[in-house]
Amino acid sequence: MGQYNPYDNVLKVVKEAADILGYSDSDIEAIKYPERELKVAIPVRMDDGTTHVFEGYRIQHSTSRGPAKGGIRFHPAVNLDEVKALAAWMTFKCAVVNIPYGGGKGGVVCDPNKLSENELRAITRRFTAAIAPLIGPEQDIPAPDVGTNAAVMGWMMDTYSMLKGHCVHGVVTGKPIELGGALGRNEATGRGVMFTTKNILRKLGLDSNGATAAIQGMGNVGSITAKLLYKEGMKIVAVSDVSGGIYHQDGLNIPAILEYLSKDRRNLLEDYNEDGMIRISNEELLELDVKVLVPAALENQINASNADRIKADIIVEAANGPIAAEADETLNAKGIIVVPDILANAGGVVVSYFEWVQNIQSVSWTEETVNEKLKNIMDPAFDAVWNIAEQQHTTLRTGAYLIAVKRVVDAKKARAIWP
């Protein structure tokens, strides 16, 4: 098996959707290539006095439907192909929920867990300065992703504002509330996953109360998803992080787990204990016999090597690209329903859009308003994907791309190729 390239996953599913839609190769040729790719060197003076040069990227896949939108990832495995794929997924994610953005993504090759706050801030500021010509409220709006958070967005917003000479709230989303952040933004992606999980169970005539779930990844998205699904009455039997997983057949004490993890960002599940739980690996978690599996970690977690051992009835992709293209075919043949990432985890970008709207209009919405508006976008988007997948007798992933690719291609056609 050749080396995994997530961008090839994107191109494969786009081509499948385009063929069903009757588009020619020429119609989709432009969206196969990112509009801009920037690679930067980020020299930083470390706490020990040495200078280390980090590598960073910002990629804009498409701006046909609006400014590029997408997160900044701080992770040791960041690379060009990953960021390209993430930028493209953002293009189609924004399109499937019909918000006026294109897709972008950025990343820095580093391990934030091994860096001091001073070093993280220095990396963030120098990276922001390096990509400043590409970003802005009307051009490209970054947001948090793996390894970054509201504090990092605050540093980005401040750095960009210093370069411009005035305060620019709308340059990033996912900021601290004090700097123009949106109420409800921190929980938005996980809340969207919760809405999506309830929607798929509803469509299948299943009750969420007591339904079993396993969640891979306990970062922002995984932990919020666990908290909200637990509140909805689901039985969370397994969760995991980079240190491994834990399992309890009668359901884990999710509030206690979240309290433990929140005490210190270095706390990991390998040091957590509760009566009746057993320790499992991330690989074992993915293969549990549960009603709903929620991969909320990184890409390519379910692939050709383990797809035939997946036993969940439903997979809700909280992470971006957790299922490789070749695994999709195996899961479909087994009758496992997959709710794709560009729909399931779109809650984050939807509320980022709400934050941006509030920033540029200088208004503030309540958290209840934000959550209500999020539901009013996520529910109809799910129904639209479900309906087109039923009509075309295809998977929900292809259904989502049928909607998204059509909106992107039609926008590109309406604008025409310049000059």
| pLDDT, tens digit (0-9, with 9 covering 90-100), for 343-386 | 999 999 999 999 999 999 999 999 999 999 999 999 999 999 99
pLDDT in tens, 282-302: 999 999 999 999 999 989 999
**pLDDT value for 2:** 55
Statement: residue 39 has pLDDT above 70? yes
Q: At what angle do helices 347-361 and 367-392 cross, to 10 degrees?
A: 130
Among candidate residues 69, 84, 93, 105, the one labeled active-site is 105
**CA–CA distances in Å: residue 87 to residues 69, 150, 242, 302:** 8, 20, 24, 21
Categorize the per-residue pLDDT at 3 as very low, low, confident or very high, splitting at 50, 70 and 90.
Answer: confident
Spatial contact of 286 and 293, defined as CB atoms under 8 Å apart: yes
Spatial contact of 374 and 193, defined as CB atoms under 8 Å apart: no
Mean pLDDT calculated for residue range 162-183: 97
**pLDDT value for 9:** 86
pLDDT in tens, 182-222: 999 999 999 999 999 999 999 999 999 999 999 999 999 99
Mean pLDDT calculated for residue range 278-285: 97
Residue type, 360: I
**pLDDT value for 266:** 83
Mean pLDDT calculated for residue range 101-105: 98
Which residues lie below 8 Å from residue 322, measured CB to CB, with a gap of 6+? 216, 295, 297, 298, 299, 300, 301, 302, 341
Categorize the per-residue pLDDT at 338 as very low, low, confident or very high, splitting at 50, 70 and 90.
Answer: very high
> Count of CB atoms within 10 A of residue 306's CB?
15
The partner residues of 382 in beta bridges, in order of sequence, read none
**pLDDT value for 1:** 44
**pLDDT value for 5:** 87
Q: Note if 105 is an active site residue.
A: yes
Q: Is the peptide bond before 380 cis (omega within 30 degrees of 0)?
A: no
Structure tokens at 410: 């039609």
Statement: residue 310 has pLDDT above 70? yes
Spatial contact of 193 and 221, defined as CB atoms under 8 Å apart: yes
Structure tokens at 213: 């779930």
Strand arrangement, sheet containing 235-241: 278-280, 244-247, 235-241, 212-216, 292-295, 314-316, 337-339
**pLDDT value for 265:** 77
